[in-house]
Amino acid sequence: MDHDTYPDSYIRGILNTVKTIAMVGVSPKDNRPSYFVFKYLLEHGYRMIPVNPGQAGKELLGQNVYARLADIPEPVDMVDIFRASQHAVPIVQEGLAMNPRPGVIWMQLTVRNDEAAKLAEDAGLKVVMNRCPKIEYGRLSSEIAWMGVNTRTISAKKSKIATGGIQRLSLNRPTLAGGATAAAMRAQNSGKP
């Protein structure tokens, strides 16, 4: 797997299939990025499990906080690593010791550890590094396009919210490989803004 670029189909496949996500390193402080991501994914229908040793035994947004992955009493589909890159290998090792194992190891923005990725991939897990599931979800569902961000998604319609109690948006929308349009390229080549 080329961990510098991921096909949209790979990311979409993960976000469409995982249901339970353990977030290692989530902060209870509502001004921290990990808190935003945790809250967003929770509000979009994922079962979120916070993992933070300093907060173990407490609750975060109504979810019990665990000290480590091994303490979680239910199966986890994905482990989202919100810790510095040097902590990724021990977290992956802990994830591989879970029974059943998660199917995905996701390392947040700025988190990249090729040794941890190889360890997980050699065990048959999917790996994503240096990406944020919140951002990827918003991009692939066209949700962030509502704010004027170019998602390379081809549609003039907002995504429909899925029925059945889950608040997830449709991630099954076609996307373009690049972000430039023919008009933008013409303008760039002619020197016009």
For the chain, what are the domain ranges? 8-190
Contacts of residue 173, Cβ cutoff 8 Å, sequence gap at least 6: 140, 141, 142, 153, 154, 155, 159
User: What is the domain class of 8-190 according to CATH?
Assistant: alpha beta
CB atoms inside a 10 Å sphere around CB 59 = 11
pTM score of the predicted model: 0.78
Q: Minimal CA–CA distance to 107: which of 133, 125, 134, 81?
A: 81
Q: Is the peptide bond before 100 cis (omega within 30 degrees of 0)?
A: yes
pLDDT tens per residue across all 193 residues of the chain:
899 999 999 999 999 999 999 999 999 999 999 999 999 999 999 999 999 999 999 999 999 999 999 999 999 999 999 999 999 999 999 999 999 999 999 999 999 999 999 999 999 999 999 999 999 998 888 776 544 444 455 555 555 544 444 445 556 555 444 444 444 445 455 554 4
Q: Minimal CA–CA distance to 132: which of 178, 80, 55, 56?
A: 80
Distances (CA, A) of 175 to 68, 114, 124, 152: 37, 28, 27, 5
